[in-house]
Structure 1
Amino acid sequence: MSKIIAVSSKAIRGLTTPQLLKGGLYLTWATSVLLLIAIISGVQAQRQAIKTVGQDSTPSIVTAQRLKDGLAGMDANIANELLVPTGQNQEAVKGYEERYIRVTERLVAAAENITFGDKERKPIETMQLGLGNYIAKIQQARDSHARGDTNGMLAAYRASAEIMDKTLLPAADELDKVNLQALEDTYTEKQVATRKSLFSIFLIGMALIVVLIGLQLFLSQRMRRTFNPLLLVATAIAIAFLNYTAGALLAASQHLRVAKEDAFTSMHALRQARAIAYIANAVESRYLLDPAFATNHEQAFFKNVSTIAQLPTGQTFESVIEAYKSQGKKVDGFTGYLADELNNITFAGEKEATLANLSSLGTYVAIDKQIRQLEKSGKHQEAIALGIGNKPGQSDWAFEQFKTTNQKSFDINQAAFDKAIQQGFHDVDSFEMTTSIAVSAIALLTLFGLMPRIKEYSF
């Protein structure tokens, strides 16, 4: 190595001043081109990461979750409809039709936003085919119900419930999983790539600055000119633009982090809580509709509720809420999607909205307890009235309160997510043009700064 350095030093000393100046010029150009490539590559990678998180994966994940709660909502409404004589629960009929329309619209939206090939296409196709079979069974249940054929109605409804539980909801979960995994992989990969890009840009940028400063010092020592104004401007541009580029990429990376870790993580937890609440609402109605499997439906209800919010032993919804209000920190033993959200509070109003969501869940669960007490006491009709009632203090009213408070917290995070994604795009907007202009300016200023000195040796 020392011999190589010695030979290189000797070769450099053997070069004439014009040759050294031309070599410095060419080295500046080469380093500028490398810097141009490094910056554009880093910016495009960062922009692709923002696009994947903000425009590809996240909308598909939210669509999958909305499909899930739409499907479960159809099931809950049809169960409520079948709990009373035909035509006596028009709210349930309307709710079923509205959610059916939403499900079909979201299936179309999911199909139009396929980004990851068959991994997305297959669960969408499964839902499309399964939905037709489900609707056919529901119609059979309705027809049997209208005829007063309770056994036929239950047989058809059980068949529809099996399609819902074993085909439709798992397919919606799979669609969510595919896009969530893609988002996680892309986010991790691009964050690592951003750090590597910044390192490369820093090294190449510093090399360019060193070359420019070296040329300035060479001119000062060899030609006794203290300053070369154009080289000074080129150096200033290189330093300023390197700082600007690093700041822009770091800002874009930070905005991507806010969108993914702060906003989206909460959005996903809240949407999952909402979808599972729909499933719990459906099995609550199944509990009253199908007494033969009442125990199974009761267990399913509590399992779903615990997935949303599992309280620590000996605590109530009120005590957990008070702990978050007074202590403002994680409550040991409290788990579930709402716990995940409360442990990821970032934005103004988010904590209050999520605690209101938890409180409304507590109200809903308390009313469910009353329904089961009435049913076990032989007061079946009273239990049904409480279960499908929309007045304050009744089950469907409480469920609507849960949805409203859940949506408020979700909207806060959605707004923050959209803002962070927009800012991330803005951070790297038109960077290719800006970089090209800056690098070209450095190259031209170096050329015009050195050419007069090179020409001095032409005579």
Structure 2
Amino acid sequence: MKNRLSTLRRRSWGTQPARLRLLRTAILLLTAACAGLMITAGLTASDTWDAVTGHHAPRTVSAAGLNLALNDMDAQAVNSLLANGDAGKGRMTVPYDKAVQLYDEAREAVSRDLRTLGVAAEGDIEAERTVERLTADFARYQEFIGRALESDTRTGGKPDAVENYRTANDMLTQRLLPEARTLVDGTNHQFEDAYAAERSDLGTQTTLLLALGLTLLAVLALLQRYLARSFHRILNPGLLAATACALLAVVLGSQALTTTSEQLRVARRDAFDSTVALSRARAIAYDANADESRYLLDRDHRTTHETAFLTKSQSLYGITGADLPSYEPRLAETWKAYQEDHEDKRFTGEFRRELDNITFPGERAAAERTVEAYAVYQRDDRTIRSLVAAGREGEAVSFCISWEPGKSNAHFGTWMKALDEVTAVNGRAFDTAADDGRDTLTGRLPWAIACLLAAAVLAALGLRPRLAEFR
């Protein structure tokens, strides 16, 4: 029996034809493995890009937009109460009409974002529940705002209007905004999880492709050497061409996967992280702007609104140890230091987060214009509080909610325009990275797979004459 097995082994593996067939099989299996790996990696990466651009990013942006629209809606409700006078008597017409218009636009934006998020949350039980709570709470919030606006139409109804507004604002700060922020954080974390998983997969797939590719090249080189020694030929043209195709396939395939991974990093880390920070900054800005109006409307709670304004200012541009009177002068001081040396950042907050992540052409200039516009707005806040302290509340209200050039709301609009510009820089970069990532997959992987197929065919053709010699 042992003799039979030994004889069979020699016939199967010990002859030249057997060795050639074994090496040919190894080459075919390795090319198939490389091609299968590329196809799997390409399809998975393509699905990830679809999820990132069609689900994770839009959903996070919608959640951030909801947060902003809620703050904007509340700010405009306060501004309309401030501008209306006593049941329309003494009304500041332009600020009032502008506040009503922006209130309606913000309300429509909230409703639209809730519908979008409701559709996007399908299948995610926790997100569905959050959207349901938001929708119910938003309906109650509108009810109290409606009561405030209705009370303000009656002569002497301002106290009731303020009381109803307080109730609505409590609901906003205690339920709606925390729920909206939870939604933003949840959607952003899902994006982060998908990003981390895909980057890890791409790294593993690239390493595996290189290992398989190098093994394939080694087997081709071994076969070439074996033919040279056994058949006294220097080179086999078919195998030489197969080796060139295999090398090109490995290079193209690994480049496609590493480039896709890098574009995913650019989209997430360089672009979208800034977009999230800037969206958060915009929502905080609208809430801080509303705090100024609340400060003027709700005299009994002015200290509370002052504290809230300072807290939000610190979350945008944090200055250690600054209180409300010292905040604006220290902002000017620390910003001047930064302008003289971009590494001298004596501040924290969302603006620091953006300035630490400057990546794209035009981004730094746009970010700096945003902070400079913010500094102007903060000077306006000092003016408002100075007018109140001087007993000139009518002038303070007019300066605060007017859209005339040089007034606070006009400067707030300039600040928001600058913020939109830097956000747009990152938005375009995100879209470009996504397009480049997809183009890399569709442009290089098919060629790499075609080169692998060519390598397999050329290797088989190169061996065919040698195998024919043993028939």
Give the equivalent residue in structure 1 for 2:230. 222
- Give the 3 Å change call, closer, same or farther, for CA 235–12 of structure 1 in structure 2: farther
Distance 1:320 1:259 in 2: 31
State the one-letter code of the partner of 2:100: V
> What whole-Å deviation, never above 9, does each CA across 1:67-99 have from its counterpart, x for those lacking one?
111110000000011113245311111110011
User: Within 5 A, what are the aligned runs for 1:130-209?
Assistant: 130-147=137-154, 148-209=156-217
State the one-letter code of the partner of 1:438: C
State the one-letter code of the partner of 1:164: L
Q: 1:281 aligns with which of 254, 279, 289?
A: 289
Normalising by structure 2, we get a TM-score of 0.90
Q: 1:329 aligns with which of 343, 352, 363?
A: 343
Give the equivalent residue in structure 1 for 2:331. 317
Give the equivalent residue in structure 1 for 2:402. 389
Q: Which moved more, 1:194-203 or 1:41-50?
A: 41-50
> What whole-Å deviation, never above 9, does each CA across 1:259-281 have from its counterpart, x for those lacking one?
11111121111111111001111
Distance 2:132 2:317 in 1: 32
Distance 1:201 1:67 in 2: 44
Question: CA shift at 1:305, angstroms?
Answer: 0.8
Distance 2:256 2:238 in 1: 26
State the one-letter code of the partner of 1:342: L
> What whole-Å deviation, never above 9, does each CA across 1:265-303 have from its counterpart, x for those lacking one?
211111111110011111111111111111111100110
Distance 1:228 1:138 in 2: 84
Q: 1:95 aligns with which of 84, 102, 118?
A: 102
Give the match's secondary structure for 1:344.
coil
Give the equivalent residue in structure 2 for 1:19. 18
Q: 1:403 aligns with which of 412, 416, 421?
A: 416
Count of residues paired in the alignment = 449
User: Within 5 A, what are the aligned runs for 1:359-398?
Assistant: 359-398=372-411
Question: CA shift at 1:128, angstroms?
Answer: 1.6
Give the equivalent residue in structure 2 for 1:450. 463
Give the equivalent residue in structure 1 for 2:309. 301
Give the equivalent residue in structure 1 for 2:247. 239
Question: CA shift at 1:110, angstroms?
Answer: 2.2
| Contact 2:56 2:191 (C-alpha < 8 Å) held by counterparts | yes
Distance 1:152 1:362 in 2: 36
Q: 1:249 aligns with which of 253, 257, 260?
A: 257
| Contact 1:119 1:178 (C-alpha < 8 Å) held by counterparts | no
Give the equivalent residue in structure 2 for 1:419. 432
Distance 1:290 1:63 in 2: 31
Give the equivalent residue in structure 2 for 1:355. 368
| Contact 2:316 2:350 (C-alpha < 8 Å) held by counterparts | yes
| Contact 1:320 1:331 (C-alpha < 8 Å) held by counterparts | yes
Normalising by structure 1, we get a TM-score of 0.92
Question: CA shift at 1:435, angstroms?
Answer: 4.5
Question: CA shift at 1:392, angstroms?
Answer: 2.4
Distance 1:409 1:197 in 2: 35
Q: 2:124 aligns with which of 106, 117, 122?
A: 117
| Contact 1:38 1:197 (C-alpha < 8 Å) held by counterparts | yes
- Give the 3 Å change call, closer, same or farther, for CA 157–223 of structure 1 in structure 2: same
Give the match's secondary structure for 2:442.
coil
State the one-letter code of the partner of 1:54: T
- Give the 3 Å change call, closer, same or farther, for CA 183–330 of structure 1 in structure 2: farther
Distance 1:12 1:182 in 2: 58
Give the match's secondary structure for 2:134.
helix
Identity %: 29
State the one-letter code of the partner of 1:233: A
Distance 1:433 1:175 in 2: 39
Give the equivalent residue in structure 2 for 1:342. 355
| Contact 1:367 1:393 (C-alpha < 8 Å) held by counterparts | no
| Contact 1:237 1:442 (C-alpha < 8 Å) held by counterparts | yes
Listed as ranges, the gaps of 5+ residues in structure 1 are: 1-6
2:134 matches 1:127: yes
Distance 1:74 1:402 in 2: 18
2:90 matches 1:77: no
| Contact 2:13 2:19 (C-alpha < 8 Å) held by counterparts | no
Give the match's secondary structure for 1:146.
coil
Distance 1:264 1:330 in 2: 25
Distance 1:192 1:331 in 2: 33
Give the match's secondary structure for 2:233.
coil
| Contact 2:274 2:426 (C-alpha < 8 Å) held by counterparts | yes
- Give the 3 Å change call, closer, same or farther, for CA 266–145 of structure 1 in structure 2: same
Question: CA shift at 1:235, angstroms?
Answer: 0.7
Distance 1:352 1:54 in 2: 27
- Give the 3 Å change call, closer, same or farther, for CA 12–405 of structure 1 in structure 2: farther
Give the equivalent residue in structure 1 for 2:325. none
Distance 1:65 1:31 in 2: 48
